[in-house]
Amino acid sequence: MQNFVYTIAQVCQQFGVENVVICPGSRSAPLVYAFTENKSFTCYSVIDERSAGFMALGIAQQSLKPVVLISTSGTACLNFFPAIAEAFYQKIPLLILSADRPPSLLNQQDGQMIMQNNVFGKHVKGSHELLCFEEDKIDYYLTEQIVFQALDQSMSEQGFGPVHINVPLREPLYNKNSAVEIPPLRANKEIKIRSANNNFPYIDELKDAWKASSKKLILLGQMPPSESLAETLQYFCQNEDVVLFADVVSNQHAISTVPYFDSILQFHNKEFMQEFEPDLILSFGGPFVSKAMKNWLKNCKPNYHFRIQLEEQLIDTYQHVTHFVKADLLSYLSTFRAIRIFNNPSSKPYCEAWATLNAKVSLAITQFHHTKIWCEPSAVRKVLQNLPENSQIQIGNSSSIRWVSWNGFNQHNVNAFSNRGTSGIDGTISTAIGAARNNPGKTVTLLCGDLSLFYDQNGFWQQDLPTNLKIIILNNQGGNIFNWIDGPSQHPEQLPYFTTKNNLSIAILAKQYGLVYQSCNDFESLNNCLANLYTPQTAPIIVELVFEETSNLAAIKAFKGMKLS
């Protein structure tokens, strides 16, 4: 067996890696030995590679440290691709180690072999291949250099992300020595943290723009929690001409000055919203859920739009960035804050105008929910109101994330996460399992649809599932969102090709994987369930919220179609 794989594990240990997700296989056996024998790592065995990739993503999403992901040779590693793409766009650090056969066997009709080198293309921050060493000609230092480089790339100052190392391995794979000896590492490196960027472009321009503008809008997209950022932003929001939109997974929703901005823009026409257009925009973080906000902002014509990010490629979602500020966000805002700019009072305070709209929409939504019609948006509202303090919610895509956003998510002591990098439904269960594993002392609630559950049910196919995971499923019989979004709903003949009707049983799925199961089909049963949902359990609990299609769809259309003058 080629002992250089132990150098790979040793470098990962020194870099600060703690978690390793391993998929079964034969060619990867040397990698399995190297990592499982090192007691610095917590190793997980996950059978399905797609689920394994998303579970690793969930762990790294919480720890903000690289998680090692190991596959055997052949098509196995291709099943990591959805999770890798999500990690790339969500900027989550992963180190993918794909075992491979020697290059001399490539395209020679040898079994379990594809072109694995650089197989993930542009969806990784780096792609490397180790040499396939002869047993007596191993270059340990070269291996060390490549692995350190890969880990550095995964934690780059220009943004975290996945990095791939292809590892060709010769046979024999199992003749492991009882005591493997490898040379000590030559380098002395530790985990790389983003350093403060002391170069602050456009500070003077921002100061002038700030003074000249009476309608300032701050946009916070998807990002991890940060108390320091929240404290800094609260300083700016003390001004009556500053409005702050915080996306549902920005983890800054507690300081949002307009929690219902998504519904405000959904329920009002663009002519009415013209007077609310900003003069100055500051934007940072990842994407927003709100399509209504994106459409509104694309039609706005601000005098200034400062985009603050570390990435090299400008993100200009709304197509009117005037100043591309490549800098560390917190350092830049702290420096700008220190200037202590005082504004002239406005005759029509921007924040007050938005607050009036926010209160109006909040009342309308509350009145809708008071009708107690059993439907998805109202059930989600009830779930959000009962989330425990200091807990976490993982939110599925499609309709689930929209209900949370439209309901004005403002639970102050709850962190929120979702796979919004690529916005797919694959891997929803596995990501939540990874998040729960990384936070054993914290309750993690997953809210998603029935299709997301069945699509990723192999995520449960592993040992010792985390008991702090609570799963709430919106069962609208598959793909119900296509019955009410624009486009598919206008073409009933083709609708069966958009929706995914199924007769699968969540109760049977729960029994198969040893989950605690409950079902609710009205508010009384939901209230009873929520009263006991967060008590200690011996297994993850899954709660199925069942909706009758016709009444649910009618209520959704009424909720979505509210128009306020």
Burial of 501 from C-beta contacts in 10 A (0-12 / 13-18 / 19+): exposed
Residue at 493 is within a domain: yes
What residues does 414 pair with on adjacent strands? 391
Is 187 inside a domain boundary? no
Instruction: Check whether residue 152 and residue 232 sit in a common domain.
Output: no
Handedness of CA 528, 531, 537, 539 (dihedral sign): positive
β-sheet bridge partners, residue 392: 415, 444
Whether residue 295 is contained in a domain is answered as: yes
Both 155 and 238 in one domain: the answer is no
Q: What are phi and psi of 127, to 5 degrees?
A: -135, 125
CA dist., res. 199 & res. 404, Å (int):
38
The Cα–Cα gap between 19 and 67 comes to 5
Q: Which residues of 343-355 are buried (b: 16+ CB within 10 A; e: fewer)?
A: eeebeebbbeebe
Q: Are residues 417 and 495 in the same domain?
A: yes
Please check whether residue 130 lies inside any domain of the structure: yes
Are residues 309 and 414 both part of a single domain?
Answer: no
Nearest to 541 by CA among 506, 565, 492: 506
Give the dihedral sign, CA 223/226/229/231: positive
Q: Is 485 exposed, middle or buried (0-12, 13-18, 19+ CB in 10 A)?
A: middle
The CA distance from 341 to 329, in Å, is 19
Is residue 337 domain-shared with residue 253, that is, in the same domain? yes
Range of the domain at 152: 4-168
CATH number for the domain spanning 31: value is 3.40.50.970
Question: Coil, strand, or helix at residue 554?
Answer: helix
For 326, residues 6+ apart whose C-beta sits below 8 A from its C-beta are: 201, 309, 310, 311, 312
CB atoms inside a 10 Å sphere around CB 291: 14
Averaged pLDDT in 10-residue chunks for the chain of 565 residues: 89 96 94 95 97 98 97 96 98 97 86 91 97 83 95 93 96 74 72 49 93 95 96 92 96 95 93 94 96 96 96 94 95 90 69 95 95 96 96 95 93 94 95 97 96 95 96 84 61 64 90 97 97 94 94 91 77
Going from the C-alpha of 96 to that of each of 15, 66, 165, 460, the distances in angstroms are 15, 10, 6, 22
Question: Does 193 fall in a domain?
Answer: no
Q: How far apart are CA 437 and CA 464, in angstroms?
A: 10
Task: Report pLDDT for 191.
Answer: 45
Q: What pLDDT score does 498 carry? A: 62
Q: Is 176 exposed, middle or buried (0-12, 13-18, 19+ CB in 10 A)?
A: middle
Q: Are 69 and 8 in contact (CB under 8 A)?
A: no
User: How many CA atoms within 13 Å lie on the side-chain side of 248?
Assistant: 28
- For residue 336, what is the domain's CATH number? 3.40.50.1220
- Please report, to the nearest 10 degrees, the dihedral formed by the alpha carbons of residues 113, 114, 117, 123 taken in order: -130
Question: Does any domain span residue 197?
Answer: no
Clarify whether residues 337 and 475 are in a common domain: no
What interhelical angle do 227-236 and 329-338 show, nearest 10?
40
Asked if residue 71 and residue 217 are part of one domain, the reply reads no
- For the segment 66-123, what is each residue's pLDDT rounded down to a tens digit? 999 999 999 999 999 999 999 999 999 999 999 999 988 888 888 788 999 999 999 9
Same domain? For 310 and 379 the reply is: no
Domain count, the chain: 3
Strand arrangement of the beta sheet that strand 469-475 belongs to? 414-417, 391-395, 444-449, 469-475, 541-546, 516-520
Q: What token pair was written down for 250?
A: 């920005």
Q: Are residues 314 and 376 in the same domain?
A: no
Q: Kindly give, in sequence order, each residue whose CB lies less than 8 Å from that of residue 281, ignoring residues fewer than 6 positions away.
A: 216, 217, 218, 219, 297, 302, 304, 305, 306, 318, 320
State pTM to two decimals: 0.92
Do 208 and 246 fall into the same domain? yes
Residues 337, 380, single domain; the answer is no
Q: Please state, in angstroms and rounded to a whole number, the distance separating the CA atoms of residues 272 and 295.
A: 14
Task: Give the single-character DSSP code of 482.
Answer: G
Rounded to the nearest 10 degrees, how much is the dihedral formed by the CA atoms of 271, 272, 274, 275?
Answer: 150
User: What pLDDT is stored for residue 552 in this prediction?
Assistant: 92
Q: Both 119 and 232 in a single domain?
A: no
Measuring CA to CA, how many Å separate 307 from each of 159, 241, 283, 316? 15, 19, 5, 8
The verdict on whether omega for the bond into residue 172 sits within 30 degrees of 0, i.e. cis, is yes
Structural domain contains residue 310:
yes
Per-residue pLDDT, 381: 97
Q: How far is CA 262 from the centre of its chain?
A: 20
Q: Residue 226's closest CA among 259, 192, 244, 250? A: 250
Last residue of one domain, picked from the residues 330, 355, 380? 355
Report if residue 485 sits inside a domain. yes
Helix axis angle, 376-385 to 399-406, nearest 10°: 60
